[in-house]
Amino acid sequence: MEQGKVQVYTGDGKGKTTAAAGLALRAAGEGLRVYFGQFMKHGETGEVSAFRTMPLPGAPVTTEQFGTGDELSAPDPLRDAQAACDGLARTIKAMNSGNYDVVVLDEANVADSLGYFEPGALLDAIREKPEGVELVVTGRGASDEVVAAADLVTEMREVKHYYHDGVPARRGIEF
């Protein structure tokens, strides 16, 4: 890719990870090399399972997760922050390795907004993105600085959601 851009998917609505996964699938389908790093998540999510089992032309989508698995049910801010910081270091290394055309930092905005990264670390990662890498950053609560540094920002806005009627997250739909 000659000129990679920075895309941010944020907002309170559903679909940020799904949009990033769709972009990753499209890129892999065109033979681009994709790295999909997930913050705040642990275990076999639907998108990770699909990336690992779907035959794709060229290289498969490389996936890594940087969550403890307890962020929502029993948060341990120090442990969760360490997992997020380790993940950011790994994604920066992947982004700068020359091995990937597209790098996704899924839920990195959430980790950033919770203070799990050092102040300015996510913004620094965006600014040091190599020219030929497309960088996608997802998650609620994108900072004003991250929004300003991006080339494209999409805000998902919740209008109505069945979660408020007591429907829990469903495997294959929400995760």
Residue 157 lies in a domain: yes
Residue 56 lies in a domain: yes
Average pLDDT estimate for 46-58: 88
Cα separation of 44 and 154, whole Å? 26
Q: pLDDT at residue 142 above 90?
A: yes
Tell me the CATH number at 76: 3.40.50.300
Q: pLDDT at residue 71 above 80?
A: no
Please report the pLDDT score of residue 38 as a whole number.
96
Average pLDDT estimate for 126-144: 98
Please report the pLDDT score of residue 43 as a whole number.
86
Average pLDDT estimate for 88-103: 98
Residue 110 lies in a domain: yes
Classified as helix, coil or strand, 84 is helix
Tokens of 85: 């910081």
Q: pLDDT at residue 24 above 80?
A: yes
Average pLDDT estimate for 43-66: 90
Residue 57 lies in a domain: yes
User: How far is the first Cα of the chain from the last one, in angstroms, to the nearest whole number?
Assistant: 30
Residue 157: is it exposed, middle or buried by C-beta count within 10 angstroms (0-12/13-18/19+)?
Answer: exposed
What is the overall mean pLDDT for the chain? 94
Residue 170 lies in a domain: no
The domain in which residue 97 lies consists of 6-140+149-165
Q: pLDDT at residue 70 above 80?
A: no
Residue 172 lies in a domain: no
Residue 171 lies in a domain: no
Tally of domains within the chain? 1
Average pLDDT estimate for 131-155: 98
Q: pLDDT at residue 104 above 90?
A: yes
Neighbours of 46 (CB within 10 A): 16
Residue 120 lies in a domain: yes
